[in-house]
Amino acid sequence: MKLLIRNVHAVDRDLDETTDILIVDGRIARMAPGINEPCDGIEDRVIDGRDLTAMPGLFDMHVHFRDPGQTYKEDILTGCRAALAGGVTGVLTMPNTKPPVDSPEILKYIRKKAKGSGVAVYPVACITQGMEGGELTDFAALKKAGAAALSDDGRPVKNAELMRQALAAAKEQGMLVASHCEDLDIIDGGIMHRGSVSEELGVKGMDRSSEDYITAREIILASSVGARVHICHVSTKGSVDIIREAKRLGVQVTCETAPHYFMLTHEKLRSRDANDRMNPPLREESDRAAIEAAVLDGTIDCIVTDHAPHSPEEKSNFELAPNGIVGLETSLAAALTALYHTGKVSLQQIVELMSIRPREILGIKPETLQEGADANFILVNTKQKWTVDPTKLHSKSSNTAFRGMELTGKVKFTVTGGKIRFEDDALIQMLPEI
């Protein structure tokens, strides 16, 4: 099988040029202008790339696929379909499923179900048994079964000494610990950012000190044992300042944020729509600006989604709804709209933030556009404007905070293993692994 993309703008860490790309049997066979290769086989295809940009497949290191246990919201295969529609060819799945991912058996189930999906699925295992914060899981056994990292995401490890032990044990196993930074006593039932809007709406708020405090705690604990720690979904100016200083001091800390934290604020919740509620919550303009600045200066290592599907019924009540929004299908477009089209970052920086750096943090070989590499890449029309319609998402759920927004940048093709897995608005049938 051959695939030839002609006259495409190709972008990678050390690449920014117009070229042809020839894929043969799942690999990039040639990259050069004016490739003259017969593509007349039954499965062969030629794509006019004059309005397209080729990038390595994206990697989202923070998604919730709800499988096992809550597959009415999402399952591994529908989550992968949503990923492909957003140009995401690899994901790190969080362990707060039902039951939680605290055993080799559940890890094996996730990995087996993901085979043939066209997306590389890397499951995260729990830090504590049942995510209950009482006893550490068997890190060695979980790593052997395929755990790519450790986290109790969805809640923090409340006991600081247990978290210190977890960081030390993870270091011994060469595993990354990712922390959901939230002090539950400070949160105390809050459902949105604590500030002027929560007061106006008469609902309990979530003070930003909750995130700042646990961020500082995790950095101190990691430093004390010489371990790595990854801070999930950073949303406050305080956390950014703490992480920036820790990096300056040489602490092995990395972090992530999501597009909604550098694009939206708590003002959006005035409509009392639960599809704008997530955890951590949308905060104030000073926080939004600080998150954006931290993306631009490199303090924040990568852009993720925290893709968190919930059913329409669950999201129907503003005060009682669970937190979380979907994001896999809007993340690249949102980043292009807010950062690239405003002239704040280059396309190469987008590739760093959304493809290369997440994989590097996890010790996964980055995808690349070069001869001999696996053909795992996306073709994007960076100039195409489109309006987010929740009813057209490929996820089982439609709880997006970007509903009705016009974004600029559309994934047109997603290719993995040399096969077109997604084409514009029509999902290509999932092909089995060969």
Domain with CATH 2.30.40.10 in the chain: 2-54+371-427
The per-residue pLDDT for 39 is 81
pLDDT tens profile 87-132: 999 999 999 999 999 999 999 999 999 999 999 999 999 999 999 9
What's residue 431's pLDDT? 40
For the segment(s) 2-54+371-427, the CATH number from 2.30.30.90, 3.30.200.20, 2.30.40.10, 3.40.50.1360 is 2.30.40.10
In the set 102, 152, 276, 306, the catalytic residue is: 306
C-alpha span between 94 and 62 (Å, rounded): 7
Contact (Cβ atoms closer than 8 angstroms) between residue 210 and residue 233:
no
306 is catalytic: yes
Q: Which CATH superfamily, name and number, covers 57-362?
A: Metal-dependent hydrolases (3.20.20.140)
- Average pLDDT estimate for 60-79: 98
- Sequence ranges of the chain with CATH classification 3.20.20.140: 57-362
Q: pLDDT tier at 425 (50, 70, 90 boundaries)? A: low
Arithmetic mean of pLDDT, 355-360: 98
SS3 assignment for the chain: CEEEEEEEEEEECCEEEEEEEEEECCEEEEEECCCCCCCCCCCCEEEECCCCEEEECEEEEEECCCCCCCCCCCCHHHHHHHHHHCCEEEEEECCCCCCCCCCHHHHHHHHHHHCCCCCEEEEEECCEHHHCCCCECCHHHHHHCCCCEECCCCCCCCCHHHHHHHHHHHHHHCCCEEECCCCHHHHCCCCEECCHHHHHHCCCEECCHHHHHHHHHHHHHHHHHCCCEEECCCCCHHHHHHHHHHHHCCCCEEEEECHHHHHCCHHHHHHCCHHHCCCCCCCCHHHHHHHHHHHHCCCCCEECCCECCCCCCHHHCCCCCCCCECCCCCHHHHHHHHHHCCCCCCHHHHHHHHHHHHHHHHCCCCCCCCCCCECCEEEEEEEEEEECCHHHCCCCCCCCCCCCCEEEEEEEEEEECCEEEEECCEECCCCCCC
Tens digit of each residue's pLDDT (9 = 90 or more) over 259-310: 999 999 999 999 999 999 999 999 999 999 999 999 999 999 999 999 999 9
Structure tokens at 9: 């703008």
